[in-house]
Amino acid sequence: MTLRERAVGLTEIMDDPACDPVRLAATYRRFGAVNRLVSGWGTVYRARLAPLLRGLGRPARVLDLGSGGGDLLVRLDRLATRDGLDVQWTGADPDPRAHEAALRRPASPRIRFVQSDSTALLAAGERFDAVVSNHVLHHLSPEALAGFARDSLDLATGSVLHADIERGRLAYGLYAAGVLPLAPGTFLHTDGLRSIRRSYRVDELAAALGDAWRVDRPAPFRVLATGAGRA
């Protein structure tokens, strides 16, 4: 195995429609704990998202594209509520299994989950003050990445923030050992390592997305693509 290049031929177990539904549900439930440890969204929220929302001076609408089991929106909602920000959150994922997992989360009047993708949201006339995603980019083919990036800019009037893990030996080794206590009964160990092998480095993601995007490293082992919405 080498981490020199992206392992684009790998697929994650949970992306298989025929994967074990019990293990899949357990994986979605534990994503919240894993993402609190590795996603860096506390830093991204404080430095990038909260200033935008606060500067609006009015209630905000934020979209999480590819929201999976909904753990990111639950976390962002708690942070924004603590800061006195009025935000309505929408989580969109076309996978019915992810949508069902999100709906099983404790309800918040500020969060809604829809089974949809970016194309359908655009066609429905939806627009948002900010669009975010977490751990989506490495799943996408070059064609799907281009469409996802384009649509997210067209859905946003403000910032677009796409966060993902960055491929590297240290990230791979630390994750392999660190996730073990949370992994039993889930796909977290195998799929997490496959995700790292499929993920981009900063320069690779910048080249893949093009000039409309700025890509940097907001936290160790993380990449963040930032774009200016054009809705």
pLDDT in tens, 20-37: 999 999 999 999 899 988
* pLDDT score recorded for residue 105: 87
Output the average pLDDT for the chain.
Answer: 95
Considering the domain boundaries, does residue 153 fall inside one? Answer: yes
Longest Cα separation, the chain:
51
8 occurs within a structural domain: no
* 112 beta partners: 90
In angstroms, the CA 223 to CA 207 distance is: 13
Q: Which residues of 45-80 are buried (b: 16+ CB within 10 A; e: fewer)?
A: beebbbeebeebeeebbbbbbbbbbbbbbbbbbebb
Domain that holds residue 120: 13-228
- Residue 30 placed within a domain: yes
User: Mind listing the pLDDT tens digit for each residue in 46-75?
Assistant: 999 999 999 999 999 999 999 999 999 999
Residue 4 lies in a domain: no
Assess if residue 2 is contained within a domain: no
Q: What is the pLDDT of residues 94-120, one digit of tens each?
A: 999 999 999 998 878 999 999 999 999
Determine, yes or no, domain membership for 93.
yes
Domain count, the chain: 1
> Is 7 domain-assigned?
no
The CATH number covering residue 213 comes to 3.40.50.150
Given pLDDT bands bounded at 50, 70 and 90, which one contains residue 146?
Answer: very high
Tell me: pLDDT of 14 over 80: yes
Per DSSP, helices labelled H in 83-168 are: 96-103, 118-123, 142-155
Name the pTM for this structure: 0.95
3-state secondary structure of 159: strand
The answer to the question of residue 3 being in a domain is no
